[in-house]
Structure 1
Amino acid sequence: MKTDIRFTHQSLVEQCKAGHSSSQYELYSYYVDAMYNVGFRFLGNKEDAEDIVQDSFIDAFKQLHSFKYQSSFGAWLKRIVINKSINHLKAKKVDLVPMEESEYQMTQTTETVIPDVKDISKIKRGIALLPDGYKQIINLYLVEGYDHVEIATILEITVSTSKSQYHRAKKRLMQIVSEL
């Protein structure tokens, strides 16, 4: 019998709300590695990712009363980690370069390329080599699954800037991967 993860962790979350530190540790232990990976993908720095994850857990436990089970605890926590990572990058002044609409015309492509398993490691290395602004867009869109409207809201940019940055990032990523 498959168990819904939201209900599996609901009792832990409720125990955390009641102040049980052992339940907090259990939730922390369950999610820390996954949240570190999210933070690291955005920040590209081990120490920054560790700091962001710790801050995210502290904030999550402080704001646990606002968690209403509209998603899983993990999805809620992941959103906190992503927002903190982006805010950290903004504080470091990692800016996206806005483009004028007339400067570049987007075209829709219907062709989907599925990378070979060997190419996945090249793609990961390529993403790591992207400039931080491009890395953000690629991570939000391809890895985390946000759409351009959500990315625009998160990064406080226009939807067209999100799309153009994604296109430029993808083009640069393909160039990097072809050189690896």
Structure 2
Amino acid sequence: MSFVRLLRGLFNKGEPCTPGVIELLYRWYGRSVYYASYYVLHDQYLAEDITQEVFLTALNKLDTLRDPTKVEAWLIRTAINRSCDWLRKNRPMVTLDEVADKQEEDVVLDRILERENKKEILEALSLLPTLNQEVAYYRFYRGMNCREISEVLEIPEGTVKSRLKRALELVADYLKKEASKENVPGKETGKNDR
């Protein structure tokens, strides 16, 4: 029996999934769902929570999936969306200046700046449309090439390339805007401090 037939046999249209089916899907795809959440959140415990939420959602909503062979993509997309929603609702409001005041060493400050840059990039990725987030996840986190992404998402390779290009453009635009907000004239020379 092929894997596709096995997947189709697990789902009965209009009937809710059984816990046994969800357990099987968790064994097959749980790690992928976890890594998709971790890619967005960069927090082990939050990624585990989101993974649990995704499979609880699957228990109630998976019967609405039209093509059971796309269950992995559906689970990963759900994980990415839930993770981005969590980030939007729970953004920390600590400024870099507050952190820098607590730390005196330049090495520590450099690490904080590096983390801040990573946070900005992750924030920019979380603001991308879902279609662009998805290809960015597969490309940069899973290390897949455009052809492989095309096969997984079942879309043309050209579409993958254009979505990836658009994702990079949107992230670059966002980071430029954030940088321009921080570059207030006179700030770097201390002229505004007098």
TM class by shorter chain equals 0.5 to 0.7
- Counterpart residue identity of residue 35, structure 1: V
Residues matched between the structures, number: 129
Structure 2 residue corresponding to 1:69, chosen from 48, 64, 67: 67
Are residue 50 (structure 1) and residue 48 (structure 2) matched? Answer: yes
> 1: distance between equivalents of 2:5 and 2:172?
37
Larger radius of gyration: 2
Using the size of structure 1 for normalisation, the TM-score is 0.55
Aligned match for 2:81, one of 77, 80, 83: 83
Match of 1:24 in 2: 22
In structure 2, C-alpha distance between the alignment counterparts of 1:22 and 1:89, rounded to whole Å: 31
Aligned twin of 2:119: 132
Quick one: which amino acid aligns to residue 48 of structure 2?
A: E
**RMSD of Structure 2 on Structure 1 (CA):** 3.9
Structure 1 residue 129 displacement after superposition: 7.7
What pairs with 1:1-12 in structure 2 (closer than 5 Å)? Answer: 3=2, 5-12=3-10
CA contact (8 A) 1:60 1:80 kept: no
Q: Is the 8 A contact 1:17 1:65 kept in 2?
A: yes
SS at match of 1:61: helix
Amino acid at match of 2:136: L
* Superimposed CA distance per residue, residues 110-141 of structure 1 (whole angstroms, 9 cap, x where no aligned partner): xxxxxxxxxxxxxxxxx988432402546835
CA distance in 2, matches of 1:167, 1:71: 40
Name stretches of at least 5 consecutive residues in structure 1 with no aligned partner.
96-126, 152-158, 169-180
Determine what percentage of the aligned residue pairs are the same residue. Answer: 18
Instruction: Give the letter aligned to residue 43 of structure 1.
Output: L
Residue 18 to residue 52, structure 1, CA distance change in 2 (3 Å): closer
The aligned residue for residue 173 of structure 2 is: 164
The Cα shift of 1:92 comes to: 1.2
Shift of residue 10 of structure 1? 1.7
Contact 1:42 1:85 in 2 (8 A): yes
Q: Is the 8 A contact 1:6 1:73 kept in 2?
A: no
